[in-house]
Structure 1
Amino acid sequence: MKYFEERGHLLTEQANPNSQDLDQLTSLELVELFNQEDQQTLKAISSAKTQLAQAIDYTTSALEQGGRLFYIGAGTSGRLGVLDAAECPPTFCTPPELVQGIIAGGAGALVRSSEGLEDRLEDGVEAIAHHQITNLDVVIGISAGGTTPFVHGAIQGARQRGATTILIACVPREQVSIETDLDIRLLVGPEILAGSTRLKAGTVTKMALNIISTGVMVQLGKVYGNRMVDVAVTNKKLHDRAVRILQDLTIMSRKEASYLLERSGRRVKLALLMHWTGLDQEKGESLLTAYRGNLRAAVRSCTQGSENSN
């Protein structure tokens, strides 16, 4: 496809006038230049805040109805999607299938460059079919330059199946347009090293994915205040964090918090509900299920129930 072969006009491929003497800079000057240019990532996020909020709302609604979230990309973009998806289960105790990352070339492309595979539009379509994506799902295509055929194919395939589609790109819409339900443009300008989109484009993409996935999990009740009360207690560090969360949100000693954590099956959210309401593990689990895992709503229902009985 000729359109995808001619990319010189793209913002992500242009030379940055601020770094034209890059090979003559001292190490300190290079670091200072990076720091200066990275300020563009914050501006780009601010400019796209409305679209990022819409992405959170679309995805939350889909997941509440039984859908899934898929990130799909190639190269750096694909790796960032896989990374964000992989971090959801330990942080929010989500099942692995709820948020998934798809990268052109599969798992091998995570550790070894396989950028040639991004040129196969049909592979993107096939990836969507392979994961049996439906109208309940959300597919976020990630492409710094916006032209990756693999991503275009995936979005086309997802739209045909009725899924909600979102594009994240770092070029203006007038340079590359694609039909999606939501179009997020993170304009950070030309890279310090021309065309190396693992730099500012990669950084701003990671920021955007952090915002989207965390925002969705907050909306789904995976967070209480600013604490990750659905943390998966799978190692010593996370066990310590779970105990500290219990201590911070209650007046329990470390010994008492550790005991309660074990009684709840190492589930921080359930432990807090048991402590605040006096419910046993079984009744606490039932109440959380009734309120779709929303701890605040579950606690409030008990409080209101007590007030009504009085």
Structure 2
Amino acid sequence: MDARPRAVLAFDPPTLAADIFPPHLWGRLASAVRLETGVVLTETTSAAARAQLAEAEVLIAGWGAPRVPSSAVPQLRGVFYAGGVARTCLQDPEEFAARGVVAANARAANAVPVAEYTLAMILLANKGARPAAQEYRVLREKPVLRPGVGNYQRVVGIVGASQVGRLVIELLRPFDLDVIVYDPTLAEEEAERLGVQTGTLEEVAAASQVLSLHQPLTAATTGQIDARILSLLPDGATVINTARGAVLDESALLDELRRGRLDAVLDVTDPEPPGGHSELWRLPNVLLTPHIAGSMGNELQRLGLDVVLEVERFVRGEAVHYPEELI
């Protein structure tokens, strides 16, 4: 008798499953659980989908997955999400929690490319790469660089000691940069362990040549980086946003950008993408990227490996490394 638990995949588009689980990872996954090759659910209402879900003990899902009701998966014991929050694929997460369903996500794996993107943008911003490249294209000779550019003894402000924020701090460690953090939940001893100074949001903004945003989007953080905070940034500072578009007051940022006082690197906006008439498309001191900081291309395989490892632990009866509370 095959002792492997029955598993179902849910992704939309379904081709995303093949990107996340290339053949070598698919083989490991298939060794741990029973899967039907080529079956990836994109909905939960058809008879075929309900039949698959009714037998599932393991749900492996990711971006675009339909929300699965607990009533459709009576045998489910584990949910493994190739992304940040497993609850997003569950219609009634509290019901799954009450049943003792184990959940794990690949947030730690997805934090890696976001932090790498942020590091690259911090270093380029301090180097004055964007304005130098623009002037070089026009002048066809080496431009006069801004005073004080470079990655020596500059101050980088981090808003939010989240998983990504902490990884950015770790990546900045080898550089001759001073890091100051605002996060009201960051304990003093933890800040010491991270090797960073802390301050109020106002103090961090006023000190930072680069301000990098990594806070979650909550009622308290919506519009948190507003006109008052932006006005405290030194002239020529750069705001980097890889968190959520709504943590930044776009109108206030546009006021600063129009004046040429600040630069911005925006991988997220609100709305996303910006409206067709938004000045963010046209202002020369904005680098606007299409939400590429997170996992994409071959980086998706890192998510796949994370999920495979968690599924293997689960099947062996071990605790998962990155559990998620469903309530």
TM-score, normalising length from structure 1?
0.33
Structure (1/2) with the larger strand percentage: 2
Structure (1/2) with the larger helix percentage: 1
